[in-house]
């Protein structure tokens, strides 16, 4: 792994996601001001529904990525070609099912969602967004999988970020001009066409040696079904809330959820930009040296759980003041819910507690067993959401999510520490415990704070001060419980290995 490749992955990942996050904050406000909370909630819900349909590729992509690590380490070009060929065959077969799902959704969504938007507009929006997915399935997914496994996430991130920036910019301009939302989706589709073309050209230039016809058509990817089940479960788990709110309450309440989720998904994307840029090191190190992997595992736990703790702690303090500024002047529904930031913080913090362990369950061969836990987790979340949404609304669906999360965290810790690394739980418990304690202290102290923020300039100043202070405290606590963490990450960034 070259030093420049690692640094490019991190730099492009972070820089790109910051731009995307900033534009992502602007778009919902423009949509709410231009079209109202109903349309904003509708478009957000449709995006969530398509995240379900993207499940068809997610499991295959994860299985292919894990299968690619070993031949990449050994520079086995024929092995790489075989795996990519198998995955491409899967993706292209799945495209047919995806396309059928798009048509079915376009026909049924107008009669299921509780919205004031007309049926023909909903159907057109669904078809246009769905066609973008069809193109990605058929042409992009195999290429994207190879780039990530090969440590070229910076290329993948650059294309994705450019695509999102263009989509956000066009939508902001068109929404500001009051253009019909069908034309908004048309612009999104045309940008996707350009993205697909770039992927294809880059792959043919840099990986001309890959034989995408190497598979006979009968080969199978290891644990592909288990990964599909896990990805289905995770998307059901993470994307249910807005759909439940749109069906059982209304799309205006879904818009409220969308605005809060925008804040926390932005934080998640920022941290995930770093994680997705370097997590291939975990897979490659596991296949080369388990002892080295153990130290890297703990370092990743400290950095990423600690990083999310800092981010959600700052968000807890600043979220309500930001929402008040962001939705000032919006009168069609109330956007301020005091309990919602705490629940969103818990969702992100507990979710990141199983990222590293969950990744290990896959590369160590426990994907099938983990898929059962994932389905149980998703089932608990959905059932609780349906039970609680009628009485508690947005708070109810978030409580359901938080209640279901610990199940998989405990499973991933058990597999990682006991089954794979054959050690006690002390190190993992110490890392998670110190970060949970920090967040609890912030919540208690946050109750005593009363920030008087009247404009975005004041908000930015408070955000910088709070984040720096929490970063210093959080870093110190994590280095105390895991002293080798700093040394390992400095070595990674310095040497690229």
Between CA 272 and CA 14 the distance in angstroms is: 9
pLDDT score, position 288: 78
Tokens of 79: 């092995």
pLDDT digits (tens, 9 = 90+) for 33-64: 777 777 777 777 777 677 666 655 656 777 78
DSSP 217: S
Residue 350 CA to chain centroid, in angstroms?
A: 14
Between CA 395 and CA 388 the distance in angstroms is: 8
3-state secondary structure 421-452: CCCCCHHHHHHHHHHHHHHHHHHHHHCCCCCC
For residues 107-134, one letter each, b for 16 or more C-beta atoms within 10 angstroms of the residue's C-beta and e for the rest, the string is eebbeebbbebeeebbbbbbbbbbbbbb
Which residue in 283, 287, 414 sits closest to 360, CA to CA? 283
Half-sphere exposure of 24 (CA within 13 A, CB side): 23
pLDDT digits (tens, 9 = 90+) for 129-171: 888 888 887 888 888 888 888 878 778 878 877 888 888 788 7
Handedness of CA 280, 282, 286, 291 (dihedral sign): positive
Check: CB of residue 275 under 8 Å from CB of residue 405: no
Check: CB of residue 442 under 8 Å from CB of residue 318: no
Can you give the pTM of this predicted structure? 0.67
Rg (CA), the chain: 22
Between CA 180 and CA 434 the distance in angstroms is: 50
Helix (H) or strand (E) holding 345: helix 340-352
Tokens of 334: 């109330």
Residue 455 burial class via C-beta count within 10 angstroms: exposed 0-12, middle 13-18, buried 19 and up: exposed
Between CA 164 and CA 186 the distance in angstroms is: 15
pLDDT score, position 497: 44
Residue 319 CA to chain centroid, in angstroms?
A: 20
Handedness of CA 128, 166, 149, 418 (dihedral sign): negative
Residue 190 CA to chain centroid, in angstroms?
A: 24
User: How far is CA 393 from each of CA 37, 111, 245, 378, 388, rounded to the nearest angstrom?
Assistant: 16, 21, 7, 19, 7
Which residue in 222, 263, 156 sits closest to 362, CA to CA? 222
pLDDT-flagged residues of the chain (< 70): 1-17, 20-21, 24, 48, 51-59, 217-218, 222-239, 488-497
pLDDT score, position 472: 93
- Alpha helix (H) residue ranges in 113-223: 119-135, 141-149, 153-176, 181-206
pLDDT score, position 443: 92
DSSP assignment of 71-119, as one string?
HHHTT-HHHHHHHHHHHHHHHHHHHHHHHHHHHHHHHHHHHHS--SS-H
Between CA 262 and CA 245 the distance in angstroms is: 16
Between CA 281 and CA 6 the distance in angstroms is: 10
pLDDT score, position 4: 57
pLDDT score, position 223: 63
pLDDT score, position 1: 46
User: How far is CA 31 from each of CA 110, 168, 181, rounded to the nearest angstrom?
Assistant: 20, 11, 10
The domain ranges of the chain are 1-211+220-225
DSSP 333: S
Check: CB of residue 223 under 8 Å from CB of residue 163: no
pLDDT digits (tens, 9 = 90+) for 385-440: 899 988 888 889 899 989 988 988 999 999 988 888 888 888 899 999 999 999 99
Specify the residue for token string 């984040």.
467
Handedness of CA 154, 156, 157, 163 (dihedral sign): positive
DSSP 420: I
């Amino acid at each position: 792994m070259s030093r420049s490749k690692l640094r490019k992955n991190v730099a492009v990942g972070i820089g790109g996601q910051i731009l995307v996050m900033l534009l992502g904050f602007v778009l919902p406000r423009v949509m709410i001001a231009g079209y109202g909370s109903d349309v904003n909630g509708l478009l957000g819900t449709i995006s969530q529904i398509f995240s379900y349909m993207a499940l068809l590729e997610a499991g295959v992509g994860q299985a292919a990525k894990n299968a690619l690590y070993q031949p990449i380490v050994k520079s086995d070009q024929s092995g790489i070609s075989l795996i990519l060929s198998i995955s491409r065959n899967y993706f292209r077969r799945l495209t047919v099912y995806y396309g059928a799902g798009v048509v079915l959704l376009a026909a049924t969504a107008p009669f299921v969602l509780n919205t004031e938007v007309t049926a023909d507009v909903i159907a057109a929006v669904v078809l246009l967004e769905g066609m973008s997915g069809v193109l990605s399935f058929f042409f992009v997914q195999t290429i994207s999988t190879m780039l990530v496994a090969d440590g070229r996430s910076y290329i993948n991130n650059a294309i994705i970020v450019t695509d999102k920036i263009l989509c956000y910019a066009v939508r902001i301009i068109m929404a500001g001009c009051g253009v019909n939302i069908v034309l908004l989706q048309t612009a999104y589709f045309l940008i996707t066409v350009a993205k697909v073309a770039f992927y294809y050209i880059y792959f043919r230039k840099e990986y001309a040696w890959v034989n995408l016809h190497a598979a006979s058509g009968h080969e199978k990817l290891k644990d592909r079904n288990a990964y599909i089940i896990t990805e289905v479960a995770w998307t059901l788990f993470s994307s249910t809330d807005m759909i439940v709110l749109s069906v059982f309450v209304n799309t205006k309440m879904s818009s409220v959820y969308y605005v809060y989720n925008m804040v926390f998904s932005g934080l998640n994307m920022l941290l995930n930009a770093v994680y997705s840029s370097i997590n291939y090191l975990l897979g490659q190190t596991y296949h080369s040296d388990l002892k080295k992997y153990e130290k890297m595992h703990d370092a990743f736990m400290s950095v990423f759980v600690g990083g999310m703790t800092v981010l959600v702690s700052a968000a807890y303090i600043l979220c309500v003041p930001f929402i008040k500024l962001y939705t000032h002047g919006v009168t069609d529904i109330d956007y301020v819910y005091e309990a919602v930031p705490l629940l969103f913080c818990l969702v992100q913090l507990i979710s990141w507690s199983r990222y590293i362990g969950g990744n290990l369950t896959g590369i160590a061969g426990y994907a099938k067993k983990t898929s059962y836990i994932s389905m149980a987790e998703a089932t608990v979340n959905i059932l609780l959401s349906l039970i609680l949404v009628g009485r508690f609304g947005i708070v109810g669906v978030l409580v359901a999510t938080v209640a279901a999360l610990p199940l998989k965290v405990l499973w991933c810790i058990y597999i990682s520490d006991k089954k794979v690394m054959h050690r006690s739980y002390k190190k993992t418990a110490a890392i998670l415990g110190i970060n949970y304690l920090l967040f609890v202290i912030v919540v208690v102290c946050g109750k005593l704070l009363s920030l008087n923020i009247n404009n975005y300039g004041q908000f930015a100043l408070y955000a910088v001060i709070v984040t720096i202070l929490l970063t210093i405290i959080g870093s110190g606590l994590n280095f105390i419980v895991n002293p080798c963490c700093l040394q390992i990450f400095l070595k990674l960034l310095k040497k690229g290995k």
